[in-house]
Amino acid sequence: MVTTVKNRRFEDEDSGLGIRHFQIFLLFFALTVAYALRVNLSVAVVAMTDAASVNPDFPEYDWSEQTKSLLLSSFFWGYVITQVPAGQLARKYGGKVMLLSGLAVCSVLNILTPICARIGGWQLVCALRVVEGLCQGVVFPSTHTILSQWAPPKERATLGTCAYSGNQFGTIIMLATSGVIAASPIGWPSIFYISGGIGCVWAVVYFFFGAGSPQECKSISAEEKKLIEMSQADEVSNDQELPKELLPTPWLSFFTSPAFLVLIVAHSVHNWGFWTLLTEIPSYMKNILGKDIKSNALLSALPYVCMFAMSFVFSSISAQLNNRNCISRVTSRKLFNSIGLWIPMVTLIGLAYVNPDQSEVAVVLLCFTVGMNGATYLGYNMNHIDLSPNFAGILMGITNGVANIMSIIAPLIVGFIVTNEHDPEQWRIVFFIAAAFYLVGNTLFVIFGKANVQPWNDPPAKPRRNSTPQVESQH
């Protein structure tokens, strides 16, 4: 009771910005860099294969559509592999070490892309992208590990949304600027030089100012550190004997927990729909609506601008509901996840029935669909930390690994269904499938999802270990 009273007093007293907000700011730019490095090839490859019409002063490569598809998908081959190991390594060595090393190496490799294209052709670029994917596989698990250390439970959704909105910001920046850079005197190689160089600058800043936890941070005030520690104290068993990094990983408990299994489903169905839109909507709009949005950088970025903006709108609403104790945490997770999946489900069906002469309506529905997806940052995306602050990074690695397999499969299924890109009936099936995934996935999450710390967050300690208690273990 005394702890709870003190905790509430600290939360009431702390109303300004603190070091934890600066750390979230650094994570926002980490994810901005990560997504900029991830999507830059999708824009640059257009100039690389058609330099004559963009800027003839730079090399041009005769790569087929199949080769370009191979290059764009190669990133995810490596990305899926390192998801689960990254969560385990982040627990052992700290989220900062893994995030910093992964993005630093990826940034350097990105700078080398034009050189690799010149000396090794598409084969070497493909290998380079696989390694970049391996490096970026650590990003989400490490970010979740850091968030579990820095975010007080009442601020978790807001701070998590602020950090992960960097995904959309990085996408927006690259889509809006890459075409301009490619056509400028510095040419398409500068797309890689600039994005990789910014990544290197971020790495230097994060090396000096980033911290994986309040315990590692030298600049945090005693009051803010106490606030974070006491707010998280209620989420851990008082019987936990080992430091967090020495706790045995309860793998069996993960995969026998209904709450975690539906979290995997929720993450996977979101990725199915999101990547169906990301990869196939341009083709749908070109062949069915006669409007190629890839030719307009601003229009291509518009859905992600909507998602970026709406994520902050939803975050503000969540914060108000939370501050006024209007709804419980589990209700909040299910509410925002339902907004992020069920509303896009309806708009996807509407998009399937848009007539060819209603391209403006289609763009509005597309922006609305992707924009509403921003609510999922306050839904399933933070649920890993709710279920297990100690193993949040590993849980994110598992769900993100499975979800990105779905991201790879979804475009392949579309290619199997859509044999005639000009047939609206075939596209309608694609949208119905995505809508069905949204319906079933979120229904399971609403029924079986939980937002309280699970018993397996504090597994039994192994014997004969140094069991010196640490505050850091209490997450």
For the chain, what is the radius of gyration of the CA atoms?
23
Residue 109 lies in a domain: yes
Best CA proximity match to 143, nearest among 381, 472, 454? 381
CA distance 438 to 440: 6
> What Cα–Cα distance (Å) separates residue 214 from each residue in 20, 151, 475?
8, 10, 12
**Residue 226 sits in the same domain as residue 312:** no
Verify that 274 and 149 share a domain, yes or no: no
The pLDDT of 432-439, averaged and rounded, is: 95
317 and 293 in one domain?
yes
Judge if 106 and 157 occupy the same domain: yes
Query: What CATH number does the domain containing 338 carry?
Result: 1.20.1250.20
**Among 87-96, 402-411, 412-421, which stretch is predicted with the lowest mean pLDDT?**
412-421
Residue 326 in any domain: the answer is: yes
State yes or no: pLDDT of 14 exceeds 70: no
In a domain, 466, yes or no: no
Residue 373 contacts residue 164 (beta carbons within 8 Å): no
Q: Distance between CA atoms of 440 and 337, rounded to whole angstroms?
A: 13
**Separation of alpha carbons 185 and 174, rounded Å:** 18
pLDDT at position 241 is: 53
Q: Are residues 228 and 255 in the same domain?
A: no
Higher-pLDDT residue of 113, 52: 113
Domain count, the chain: 2
Same domain flag for 52 and 129: yes
Do 190 and 258 belong to one domain?
no
Residue 468 lies in a domain: no
Which residues touch 306 (CB under 8 Å, ≥6 apart)?
367, 368, 370, 371, 374
> Are 219 and 332 in the same domain?
no
CA neighbor of 105 nearest in space, from 36, 35, 200, 192: 200
Q: What is the pLDDT of residues 74-117, one digit of tens each?
A: 898 899 999 999 999 998 899 999 999 999 999 999 999 999 99
Range from 284-298, 352-366, 396-410 that averages highest in pLDDT: 396-410
Would residue 139 count as lying in a domain? Answer: yes
Alpha carbon distance 23, 211 (integer Å): 7
CB 212 within 8 A of CB 92: no
Residue 131 in any domain: the answer is yes
Residues 198 and 292 in one domain: no
Higher-confidence residue of 76 and 343: namely 343
Clarify whether residues 274 and 228 are in a common domain: no
- Both 230 and 257 in a single domain? no
Is 5 part of any domain?
no
290 lies in some domain: yes
> End-to-end alpha-carbon separation of the chain, Å?
19
Please state, for a pLDDT cut of 70, what percent of the chain lies above it: 88
144 with 47, same domain?
yes
Give 207-258 pLDDT, tens digit per residue: 999 999 999 999 999 999 999 988 887 666 555 555 665 678 899 999 999 9
Does residue 461 have a pLDDT over 60?
no
pLDDT band at 335 (very low <50, low <70, confident <90, very high): very high
Rounded to two decimals, the pTM is 0.85
Which structural domain, as residue segments, surrounds residue 123? 18-234
Final residue of a structural domain among 186, 207, 234: 234
Binned at pLDDT 50, 70 and 90, residue 65 comes out as confident
Q: For residues 6 and 236, what is the distance between their CA atoms, to the nearest angstrom?
A: 17
